[in-house]
Amino acid sequence: MKRDRLADVKFDEGTSLWKDARRRLFQNKMAVFGLCAFSLVTLLSFVGPSLLPYDHETIDLPYQARPPLSDKHSFVCPNHDYVHLYSVDENCYVCNTPLEPAAIQPARHLMGTDKLGRDLCAAVLRGGRVSLAVGFMATAVSLVIGVIWGAVAGYFGGRVDQFLMRIVDVLYALPFLIFVVLLMVMFGRNFLLLFFAIGFVEWLTMSRIVRAQVMALKNQEFVEAAVALGYGRMRIIFCHLLPNLLGPVIIYTTLTVPAVMLLESVLSFLGLGVQAPDTSWGVLIKQGAEGMEDYPWLLLFPAAFFSLTLFSLNFIGDGLRDALDPKSSKD
């Protein structure tokens, strides 16, 4: 009889947290928008540069410092094969003959060019590769170390906690730049090292957040019930505590990604990160900000891509947090 009653019960195949979460995530319009926008930016960054007529290194002389889609050309002296950049009415300052306009060429720089005549679009897309890679690798490193470190410290408490947290304190006290310089000196300049160096610093705060959350959660009776049911420690930490931490962890992760991207530009400025002609959003924004009064597009486009990425990450983050909370279920 019992079997008969059970036969009537309709089970959704797999009602695990993750499957429910995926369903709920795709019901959230903002999150779906974020996912689409983010995928587009990523796709453009990795595929885009090869579709453009220029790469980020080629200098297109007549088009120096041109606004987006400008077909305005430069002026040439008939006697010299010399391009005059900024003069319109003046004569050639070498031979004083009046200048002639160079052959008009059609618009070809989607986002304009920088002061040297390099295509900004190519630079932005190329820079996206570096920024996204650094942002995600470093965040992943910080996420993994920080969550495990904090969860272990918080759950075991006592001496384990004291020991692990004092290490965190020591690392907090270490000046970041000196730490990075030391790494570079020891291992040489290396792109991979950049991921590691930034991630290695960013995990500290994550571990503190996770530790505090675990300490609050571990006194809940479901954790004690798990011990009484004979679950192992790792199972309790990773299957029972961590899913309950997802809210703050996701929020902090979406905050870490932009922080990491900006940190990379600081390192690059000091010559420790990516080097010209390679570039990143952080570097482009920094350069664009320097000349923002005369060439606003140099700031606008990298900043727009940067912001779009951060917005979509935040939407995805919010969506994920809601999706992973069974209480927000709409059915």
The residues of the shown chain that bind other proteins, judged by CB under 8 A, are 2, 5-6, 9, 11-12, 15-17, 159, 162, 220-222, 224-233, 235, 239-240, 243-244, 324, 326-327, 329-330
Cα–Cα distance between 117 and 106 in angstroms, integer? 15
**How many of the other CB atoms lie within 10 Å of CB of 36?**
11
- The beta strand positions in 195-237, using DSSP E, are none
Q: Which is nearer to other proteins, 68 or 248 (CB)?
A: 248
Cα–Cα distance between 317 and 314 in angstroms, integer? 5
Q: What share of the chain is helix, strand, coil (3-state, %, to 5)?
A: 65, 5, 30
In this structure, what token pair is assigned to residue 219?
């006194």
Q: Which is nearer to other proteins, 136 or 231 (CB)?
A: 231
Q: Which is nearer to other proteins, 64 or 244 (CB)?
A: 244
Give yes or no for a contact between 282 and 261, defined as CB atoms under 8 angstroms apart.
yes
Give yes or no for a contact between 109 and 69, defined as CB atoms under 8 angstroms apart.
yes
Q: Is 97 left (phi over 0), alpha (psi -120 to 50) or beta?
A: beta
* Residue 134: alpha-carbon gap to chain centroid: 7
In degrees, rounded to 5, the angle at the alpha carbon of residue 326 between the alpha carbons of residues 323 and 327 is 110
The CB-of-37 to other proteins minimum distance in angstroms stands at 29
The CB-of-257 to other proteins minimum distance in angstroms stands at 24
Q: Which is nearer to other proteins, 132 or 241 (CB)?
A: 241
The CB-of-326 to other proteins minimum distance in angstroms stands at 4
In this structure, what token pair is assigned to residue 79?
């006697």
Check the CA dihedral 33-34-37-39 and report its sign. negative
Q: Which is nearer to other proteins, 86 or 327 (CB)?
A: 327
Check the CA dihedral 178-179-181-185 and report its sign. positive
The CB-of-248 to other proteins minimum distance in angstroms stands at 14
Q: Which is nearer to other proteins, 20 or 57 (CB)?
A: 20
For tokens 């995990």, name the residue: 203
The CB-of-324 to other proteins minimum distance in angstroms stands at 8
Q: In terms of residues, how long is the chain? A: 331
Strands 100-101 and 83-84: what pairing?
unpaired
The CB-of-34 to other proteins minimum distance in angstroms stands at 23
Q: Which is nearer to other proteins, 69 or 227 (CB)?
A: 227
Cα–Cα distance between 22 and 15 in angstroms, integer? 11
The CB-of-14 to other proteins minimum distance in angstroms stands at 10
**How many of the other CB atoms lie within 10 Å of CB of 245?**
20
For tokens 């705060």, name the residue: 205
The CB-of-228 to other proteins minimum distance in angstroms stands at 5
Q: Which is nearer to other proteins, 275 or 328 (CB)?
A: 328
The CB-of-125 to other proteins minimum distance in angstroms stands at 40
Q: Which is nearer to other proteins, 22 or 115 (CB)?
A: 22
